[in-house]
Structure 1
Amino acid sequence: MIVRADDLENFRVKGVYSEALVRSLNGYEHDPAAPRTLQNPWSRERAQSWADGRNRHREPLFIEGHPYAHPRISVPNPPPAEIQIDGETLHLARYGTRGAHYSRMLPPVEWTPEP
């Protein structure tokens, strides 16, 4: 199964003990004579910094009527239904693999039939 890394959560630093994982991480630099040795290991601090960055994942924010993502603002994953930008309330119009799209228009009210 293939899963977007953006949909994963709770990244943490752990030791690598699996020979298959070490081989995968080493790639072409893998040494069969040392099957459990990482060729370019990260320091614990670098790995922790990477994990912390992934745990603070933010989605790009698009405002309908503007062709590009807002350069200064991003939203958490999952995005909130409403946000305030420059005193204006924006409503979540759609959310997909390319980010959260907000609109100035209120979302449509769902029609329910009379009994």
Structure 2
Amino acid sequence: MTDTGPAEHETPDGLLGWCLVANVARETSRGEGGLEIQHGTKHFRAGTLLWLAPARWDAGSCRRHAVGRHRGNSRRYVNMVVCVGDLENFRVKGVYSEALVRSLNGYDHDPAAPRTLQDPWTRERAQSLADSWNRHREPLFIEGRPYAHPRISVPNPPPAEIQLDGETLHLARYGTRGAHYSRTPPPVEWIPEP
């Protein structure tokens, strides 16, 4: 019996490069303290496939340049900077479309070489990043900050208290989009004496 699938070193016909992709999460949090839950983001519907280009500039540790089909016009690709916390199901996928290559290249696109990615992912680098972002750890939000802490995540279920930079943080709430911690301890329940 022979293996009919392509070997790791073989390149599929028509492949223009590899890219890290993800889907927009079903629920994203917005507003003060992340209390407002919405489906998808302002620009992308929930479940939309986004192609994440390698970082060309520092958009912040929790933000990435992405290419996808806009909520209002699903025929054309648009470039946006998105929050990684609004994405799920990271994986590596092959690029086969010249229109997608043009969008991923952005201003660096060379019309003389329309099928060439200017800053391509290697398959191993993209897979490594996908694996690290897919770990089942919960993002950590701190009261007063709109985005997740860039360096720290907590296990599922999250602990009631954590130490961060010499400060004790208390679990305020835990939802579908992560653990939210507060600097103030939870109120003590008053129990009347019989």
Cα distance change of structure 1 residues 50 and 73 upon mapping to structure 2, 3 Å threshold: closer
One-letter amino acid of the structure 2 residue matched with residue 83 of structure 1? A
Superposed CA offset, 1:43-69 (max 9, x none): 1111111212222365235379xxxx9
Cα distance change of structure 1 residues 20 and 62 upon mapping to structure 2, 3 Å threshold: same
Partners of 2:139 and 2:152 within 8 A in 1: no
**Structure 1 stretch 99-108 or stretch 25-34: which is displaced more?**
99-108
Higher-helix-fraction structure: 1
1:105 matched residue in structure 2: 186
1:59 matched residue in structure 2: 139
- Aligned sequence identity (%): 56
1:92 matched residue in structure 2: 172
Normalised TM-score (structure 1): 0.57
TM-aligned CA deviation for residue 73 of structure 1: 4.9
- After TM superposition, the runs of 4+ consecutive aligned structure 1 residues lying more than 6 A away are none
2:106 matched residue in structure 1: 27
Equivalent residue in structure 2 for 1:18, among 94, 97, 107: 97
Q: In the aligned structure 2, how far is the partner of 1:25 from the partner of 1:48?
A: 18
Cα distance change of structure 1 residues 22 and 63 upon mapping to structure 2, 3 Å threshold: closer
Cα distance change of structure 1 residues 75 and 61 upon mapping to structure 2, 3 Å threshold: farther
Higher-strand-fraction structure: 2
Q: In the aligned structure 2, how far is the partner of 1:63 from the partner of 1:27?
A: 36
Normalised TM-score (structure 2): 0.37
* Structure 2 runs not aligned, ≥5 long: 1-42, 45-81, 190-194
Equivalent residue in structure 2 for 1:38, among 99, 117, 133: 117
